[in-house]
Structure 1
């Protein structure tokens, strides 16, 4: 899990580098599993939960690398209502500290193992007006505005 991932929901949906889960299967027979993800925040508690589709595992031992787009079906993600409304309205996760826990479940729903990771969402500072300065009277019919730059996400 990136410690400071992008706040933009669209990045979470398509960027496989935001979160990765490595599953080490040490058994000797074929096995199928699902991944349950739980997103929490210290102040608000459980924010979202989703269970993946089934991942088949051939004869073990076997290592499987999964990325967030492979695990999360965004249409099946259950969100806390107020959190979901705010995130959908703005297109970003609210700033703050979060924890995501991944539980490996067998097909009967029994937990086989769990791992958790903490991450922080930081929003970029908004641009500030440089010209015209605060309180300046603008007389031009076509004024030119100049703003401080907004930092681009690292992927750009």
Structure 2
């Protein structure tokens, strides 16, 4: 056995348990998802029949389609908004030195250290006053605001190179 083959075999022997531990929960989740309802809580590992209709039933019964669209909308709004705001700010910080440059960078860094949960009560009261409590657009703007500081910080590093 060559040294390279020996190293490969040893690496696979060491990685195999890790792969099994990583994949096992996904396999259990998948097998449970395709089982008939009567078999979900039984100790049998393998389903008596594969019910692919469970996925369609879940999609309709839980309103998953609308929830997915809401998530995509909020994510797109937050991402696009954060980039549109952050690119000019990061470019200006990268190319120009202005009064308060260091303080602004410190502000960006410190704002990332604040836990968002601290702001929840104030944000809820603000959104309630504006009538936006159950608005996906308001949620997108909140996510965008939380991500602007990080995006400016990362894009400034990119523009500096």
Which structure would you say has the larger Rg? 2
Common fold: TM-score over 0.5: no
Query: TM-score band, normalised by the shorter chain?
Result: under 0.3
- TM-score between both structures, scaled by the size of structure 2: 0.20
More strand by share: 1
